[in-house]
Amino acid sequence: MTLSCGSSATLEAVSAAEPQLNKWYQLFVYQNREVTLDMARRAQAAGYSALVLTVDFPAIGLRYHNIKNNYHPSGEDQANYWPYGTDTAIANNATWADITWLKSQVRIPLVIKGILTAEDARLAVDSGADAILVSNHGGRQLDDAPATLEALPEIVAEVGRECEVYLDGGVRSGTDVFKALALGARAVFVGRPVCWGLVHSGSEGVKSVLEILYTELDNIMTITGCSTVASITPSHVRCVDDYTQALHAFNEK
Amino acid sequence: MTLSCGSSATLEAVSAAEPQLNKWYQLFVYQNREVTLDMARRAQAAGYSALVLTVDFPAIGLRYHNIKNNYHPSGEDQANYWPYGTDTAIANNATWADITWLKSQVRIPLVIKGILTAEDARLAVDSGADAILVSNHGGRQLDDAPATLEALPEIVAEVGRECEVYLDGGVRSGTDVFKALALGARAVFVGRPVCWGLVHSGSEGVKSVLEILYTELDNIMTITGCSTVASITPSHVRCVDDYTQALHAFNEK
Amino acid sequence: MTLSCGSSATLEAVSAAEPQLNKWYQLFVYQNREVTLDMARRAQAAGYSALVLTVDFPAIGLRYHNIKNNYHPSGEDQANYWPYGTDTAIANNATWADITWLKSQVRIPLVIKGILTAEDARLAVDSGADAILVSNHGGRQLDDAPATLEALPEIVAEVGRECEVYLDGGVRSGTDVFKALALGARAVFVGRPVCWGLVHSGSEGVKSVLEILYTELDNIMTITGCSTVASITPSHVRCVDDYTQALHAFNEK
Amino acid sequence: MTLSCGSSATLEAVSAAEPQLNKWYQLFVYQNREVTLDMARRAQAAGYSALVLTVDFPAIGLRYHNIKNNYHPSGEDQANYWPYGTDTAIANNATWADITWLKSQVRIPLVIKGILTAEDARLAVDSGADAILVSNHGGRQLDDAPATLEALPEIVAEVGRECEVYLDGGVRSGTDVFKALALGARAVFVGRPVCWGLVHSGSEGVKSVLEILYTELDNIMTITGCSTVASITPSHVRCVDDYTQALHAFNEK
């Protein structure tokens, strides 16, 4: 589980509640880098096994649907920020050097979240990233951002031999999980489905959502003949254009 | 006609009712391989001229529409299974070696049903298959399975010179039949249209459905100038991309 | 104007009514080739300047919309057929040799109508055709027939240097005319729009429809800078894929 | 701001009202070239810093929506034309030589508006154009004209090293601006959004529309990491086909 820095319980409280769970902590580069550093060290001290640094948020996207719905989330209940008062603005001047710097300050692995191109994946890895999380921020930052599943292959091709690559965004079924794994993701993350389960029936709902995804993935693996996750390969998926090319090859015979 | 192993009349009763009909028998690899063997031998003894072994069913797909419709088919009326009591689970551990084994136990040809890629067609043929039936199980096993007509050409290209290749799935008109034949299928199979005819007006309805398909195929063959099935070739169909390429070639002159 | 062999007035009566008009006559290869020959000679004698031989009608297509609408056109008012009694079945055994034969029997040019591939255009021309009319019979013969505009370029590329190529099917505006001319058609024909005009307001309606098409063609020619029909070239149209390729070329710089 | 020659206030009055504003003046080649020349000289004298010569209007397009809506704009309130009486017909015989001629008569730069192909951009520049405005006249001249964003790359590739290239047509959000800049436009122009703002709330509405576009562009630049307009490059946009190609490359590994 990755805990958002915007959680209403402190990262320490969450860790204390589930000390055995494999937990990662998500944070930003803040305008005040000391806030970044303090949060990272708190997470490390509290037993989180990785930091997930979100890099696609130099400014919040223009979310017209929020304006239309008169939705204005308050930051007041973001407990992790309480120690820092109002000095918690997310940096709009972060550079790749911030990754190198943060990496040098912590012992736990640093995952860079919000990468959508091979070029940026290369820069992140060369700056010290231990892993890449291909993400378009749930499609909420930029209306015309690419689908993460489309961006995944070129990123895996670029850095997949050097580090693990993950994906989030649009994962709604076990079939989606399967496709991402087939195209080189080491794991996928889900956000909204978990919220839907929570709204439906609390923690039981969250558990159900995860079980559904697991059951669906298990089913498609059985039907496609993949007995292990490692045996899911690019040859298990096709893009429509492949069939057009196969048809051309067929006709030319 | 291919008789499903799940038929409500025994394979022997069906054969006795239509002794002259060219009949094939469909079965699975069962967890208890003796069930598989006994069924195969019964079919052979009863005059079936081929076995159709379905290989895309190591587990039943997650059919949410069935859950929504509260549709839970019972296996109680599947007469072919009665001799085996409850020991009729379909194998989830079948391998290509099962094809080689079954082939060695019977004299009638072995058709492998449920192939969707050239790679699997190659493995099936090398394992002893006498023919390949390209099928996605009527689209019911896996929501994102490819259309059989799209998968057909690469399979014909791979094994078409060594054995016959058939197709089912989505065949709803004589035009669909024609396209499959043009892309290398030796024959096609239909499932749901037959059921629709049956529901509409019993055996007369089934007969009408088949006559409609025959009439439509005959008409398109006449209009395309194909006087025999053998004269239906890949040059009788096009994919849209062909025209784009032709236009490029035209513009470059 | 091309007169259909199924007209309710005889070809002689039509010609007598408009002796100065440039008229072509459309006919089929009939089972009784003497009917074909007699019709061809009558047209020639009556002053028609070309024969348009339709070759996509060895059988009538399965027109389910006609069945649904309970539309069963009678042949009783087809005046051109009256001399031949009931011996007017359209041939289902015509071959390319029939073109060579008919060509040898008449002095006026022979246009072959109903060609949709480069291969058939080549055969038609080699059999004696003076011109090719790319047509899918208004889309009424075969539901999955290609659009004539898509089929046109490969046909022009194949025989365009040897004879004139025309097009019908789907021509509904001056833009459609322009596109066909740009892709190599020497002229286009229209059917249904003329009928719509006729139903709307008789001969005035037909005149209006033709004037609208003329006005639209004139307008697009002016806007695209084509001062003559001959100056309309392939470079005046694009397929969407061209822009994708241009974008790739741009990005690679 | 580019002032239309069809404005209801004279170009002199507009300039007097906003003497410091960077203003361009749009005009046509008129049948009477003296009208063209006089207008151009008036604009130059009144402080306009460039002429925008529209070349996609040898005739007005067939605007059926205007006919349906009974919309017949009168030219009576077009104040810039008053000095010329009724002698203001737009030329239908303009050639590239008119550009060379007009260029020779004025000191301010000459922008050619209405270019949609690389060929025409080349001819315009070779005839003396100082800049190219890629435009399809808001889609109003020809129903099947290409999107300007699709036509832009080949034009930039052809003349982008020799002159500035601009774009209008379909610019409705900051994302549209960003894409045009990424594909090589030096600037974009907007028409209808300005009218919408004007109708909504007069000059305040126009101001709001421009502020919205600016805010959106600023936001996407921040999120994509472009700190200056010059840093927006082709690598910041993708066409879907890129991802298909990336997937093929990935699968071939």
Q: pLDDT tens digits, residue range D135-158?
A: 999 999 999 999 999 999 999 999
Chain C hits for B249, Cβ within 8 Å: 153-154, 157
Q: From the candidates D137, D200, D236, D248, which is the catalytic residue?
A: D137
Model confidence at C83: pLDDT above 80: yes
Model confidence at D171: pLDDT above 80: yes
Model confidence at B47: pLDDT above 90: yes
Q: Let me know: does B132 contact B115? Beta carbons within 8 Å.
A: yes
Chain D hits for C149, Cβ within 8 Å: none
In angstroms, what is the C-alpha Rg of chain D?
20
- Give the integer Cα–Cα distance in Å for D75 and D58: 17
C42-80 in b/e form (b: 16+ CB < 10 A) is bbbebbbebbbbbbbbbeebbeeeeeeeeeeeeeeebbb
Tokens (6 digits) for A68? 């239309």
Tokens (6 digits) for C117? 């591939």
Residue B105: other Cβ atoms inside 10 A: 13
A132 bridge partner residues: A112, A165
Q: Let me know: does C193 contact C150? Beta carbons within 8 Å.
A: no
Class of domain A2-252: alpha beta
Chain B hits for A251, Cβ within 8 Å: 234-235, 242
- Give the integer Cα–Cα distance in Å for D164 and B194: 66
| Structural element, H or E, at residue C120 | helix C118-126
Residue C240 zone, left/alpha/beta (φ > 0; ψ -120 to 50; rest): alpha
Query: Per the CB < 8 Å rule, is B119 touching A235?
Result: yes
- Give the integer Cα–Cα distance in Å for C43 and C5: 10
What lies within 8 Å, CB to CB, of C141 at 6+ separation is B223, C56, C57, C60, C61
The DSSP code for B147 is: P
Q: Which of A12-16, C106-110, D71-75 has the lowest mean pLDDT?
A: D71-75
- C125-129: long-range contacts, CB 8 A cutoff, minimum separation 24: C125/C159, C125/C162, C125/C163, C126/C96, C127/C96, C127/C97, C127/C99, C127/C100, C127/C103, C128/C99, C128/C100, C128/C102, C128/C103, C128/C104, C129/C99, C129/C103, C129/C163
Tokens (6 digits) for D23? 């203003």
What lies within 8 Å, CB to CB, of B221 at 6+ separation is B178, B227, B229, B232
- Give the integer Cα–Cα distance in Å for A136 and A171: 12
Four-residue CA torsion sign, B159, B163, B169, B171: positive
In angstroms, what is the C-alpha Rg of chain A?
20
The pLDDT value recorded for residue B247 is 86
Phi/psi at C123 (5° precision): -60, -40
Question: pLDDT band for position C62 (50/70/90)?
Answer: very high
State the chains in contact with A (3 or more Cβ–Cβ pairs under 8 Å): B, D
The pLDDT value recorded for residue A245 is 82
Model confidence at B181: pLDDT above 80: yes
Rounded to the nearest integer, the mean pLDDT of chain A is: 95
pLDDT one-digit tens code per residue, A221-253? 999 999 999 999 999 998 878 888 888 888 876
In terms of DSSP H, where are the helices of C146-191? 148-159, 174-182
Q: A243 to chain D: nearest residue by CA?
A: D248
pLDDT one-digit tens code per residue, C109-163? 999 999 999 999 999 999 999 999 999 999 999 999 999 999 999 999 999 999 9
Q: D178 to chain A: nearest residue by CA?
A: A144
Question: pLDDT band for position D252 (50/70/90)?
Answer: confident
User: Residues in chain D whose beta carbon is closer than 8 A to a beta carbon of chain A?
Assistant: 175, 179, 215-216, 219-220, 222-225, 235, 238, 240, 243-244, 246-251, 253
Tokens (6 digits) for D109? 């730069």
Tokens (6 digits) for C22? 């440039």
Model confidence at C252: pLDDT above 80: no
Q: Which 3 state secondary structure label does DSSP give C202?
A: helix
| Structural element, H or E, at residue B187 | strand B187-189
Chains A and C share 3 or more Cβ pairs within 8 Å? no
pLDDT one-digit tens code per residue, B8-41? 999 999 999 999 999 999 999 999 999 999 999 9
What lies within 8 Å, CB to CB, of C102 at 6+ separation is C29, C36, C37, C40, C51, C53, C110, C128
Give the rounded distance of the alpha carbon of C75 from its chain centre. 22
State the chains in contact with D (3 or more Cβ–Cβ pairs under 8 Å): A, C
- Give the integer Cα–Cα distance in Å for A205 and C119: 63
- Give the integer Cα–Cα distance in Å for A102 and A96: 10
pLDDT one-digit tens code per residue, C182-218? 999 999 999 999 999 999 999 999 999 999 999 999 9
Chain C hits for B224, Cβ within 8 Å: 142
User: Residues in chain C whose beta carbon is closer than 8 A to a beta carbon of chain B?
Assistant: 56-59, 61-62, 92, 117, 119, 141-144, 146, 150-151, 153-154, 156-157, 183-184, 234-235, 239, 241-242
Residue D139: other Cβ atoms inside 10 A: 17
Mutate which of C179, C223, C235, C239 to disrupt the D interface (most D C-beta within 10 Å)?
C223
The pLDDT value recorded for residue D250 is 83
pLDDT one-digit tens code per residue, C214-224? 999 999 999 99
Rounded to the nearest integer, the mean pLDDT of chain C is: 95
Terminal CA-CA length for chain B:
52
Query: Per the CB < 8 Å rule, is B235 touching C119?
Result: yes
Chain B hits for C92, Cβ within 8 Å: 222
- Give the integer Cα–Cα distance in Å for A183 and D248: 11
* Catalytic residue list of B: 137
Q: Which 3 state secondary structure label does DSSP give A41?
A: helix
User: Residues in chain C whose beta carbon is closer than 8 A to a beta carbon of chain D?
Assistant: 175, 179, 215-216, 219-220, 222-225, 235, 238, 240, 243-244, 246-251, 253
The domain spans of chain B are: 2-252
Phi/psi at D100 (5° precision): -60, -45
CA atoms within 13 A on the CB side of B200: 12
Comparing CA positions, the residue from A210, B121, B243, B116 lying closest to residue C241 is B243
Tokens 């039943």 belong to B60
How many Å lie between the alpha carbon of B75 and the closest alpha carbon of chain A? 21
- Give the integer Cα–Cα distance in Å for B246 and C157: 9
Average pLDDT over residues D152-172: 97
The pLDDT value recorded for residue D213 is 98
The pLDDT value recorded for residue D253 is 67
Q: Let me know: does B142 contact B173? Beta carbons within 8 Å.
A: no
Give the rounded distance of the alpha carbon of B65 from its chain centre. 23
- Give the integer Cα–Cα distance in Å for A171 and A165: 15
Model confidence at D75: pLDDT above 90: no
The pLDDT value recorded for residue A134 is 98
The pLDDT value recorded for residue B250 is 83
Query: Per the CB < 8 Å rule, is A157 touching D216?
Result: no
The pLDDT value recorded for residue D244 is 84
Query: Per the CB < 8 Å rule, is C250 touching D144?
Result: no
Average pLDDT over residues B158-176: 97
- The rounded percent of chain B whose pLDDT value lies above 90 is 91
Question: pLDDT band for position B253 (50/70/90)?
Answer: low
How many Å lie between the alpha carbon of B234 and the closest alpha carbon of chain A? 6
Question: pLDDT band for position A25 (50/70/90)?
Answer: very high
> What are the CA-CA distances from residue D206 to residues D3, D16, D157 (Å)?
15, 20, 34
Q: Let me know: does B21 contact B82? Beta carbons within 8 Å.
A: no
> What are the CA-CA distances from residue D60 to residues A134, C130, D55, D92 (Å)?
50, 40, 12, 10
Model confidence at D212: pLDDT above 80: yes
Q: Which of C54-68, C129-143, D237-251 has the lowest mean pLDDT?
A: D237-251
- Strand C24-28 versus strand A24-27 pairing type: unpaired
Average pLDDT over residues C88-111: 97
Terminal CA-CA length for chain A:
52
Determine if the pTM surpasses 0.80: yes
Tokens (6 digits) for A243? 């069939």
- Give the integer Cα–Cα distance in Å for D246 and D253: 11
Rounded to the nearest integer, the mean pLDDT of chain D is: 95
User: Residues in chain A whose beta carbon is closer than 8 A to a beta carbon of chain B?
Assistant: 175, 179, 215-216, 219-220, 222-225, 235, 238, 240, 243-244, 246-251, 253
- Give the integer Cα–Cα distance in Å for C71 and B56: 46
Model confidence at B70: pLDDT above 80: yes
The pLDDT value recorded for residue C253 is 67
Model confidence at B124: pLDDT above 80: yes
User: Residues in chain B whose beta carbon is closer than 8 A to a beta carbon of chain C?
Assistant: 175, 179, 215-216, 219-220, 222-225, 235, 238, 240, 243-244, 246-251, 253
- Give the integer Cα–Cα distance in Å for D227 and D250: 32
Tokens (6 digits) for D102? 């007009």
Comparing CA positions, the residue from A227, D25, C83, D223 lying closest to residue B95 is A227
pLDDT one-digit tens code per residue, D38-58? 999 999 999 999 999 999 999
- Give the integer Cα–Cα distance in Å for A243 and B154: 8
Q: What is the ipTM of this complex?
A: 0.92
Length of chain D: 253
Question: pLDDT band for position C247 (50/70/90)?
Answer: confident
HEC profile of chain D = CEECCCCCCCHHHHHHHCCCCCCEEEECCECCHHHHHHHHHHHHHCCCCEEEEECCCCCCCCCHHHHHCCCCCCCCCCHHHHHHCCCCCECCCCCHHHHHHHHHHCCCCEEEEEECCHHHHHHHHHCCCCEEEECCHHHCCCCCCCCHHHHHHHHHHHHCCCCEEEEECCCCCHHHHHHHHHCCCCEEECCHHHHHHHHHHHHHHHHHHHHHHHHHHHHHHHHHCCCCHHHCCHHHCCCHHHHHHHHHHHHHC
The verdict on whether A137 is a catalytic residue reads yes
> What are the CA-CA distances from residue B233 to residues B37, B160, B181, C89, D7 (Å)?
39, 14, 8, 29, 64
A2 bridge partner residues: A24
Length of chain A: 253
Q: C253 to chain D: nearest residue by CA?
A: D157
pLDDT one-digit tens code per residue, B79-100? 999 999 999 999 999 999 999 9
In terms of DSSP H, where are the helices of chain A? 11-17, 33-45, 64-68, 96-105, 118-126, 148-159, 174-182, 192-224, 240-252
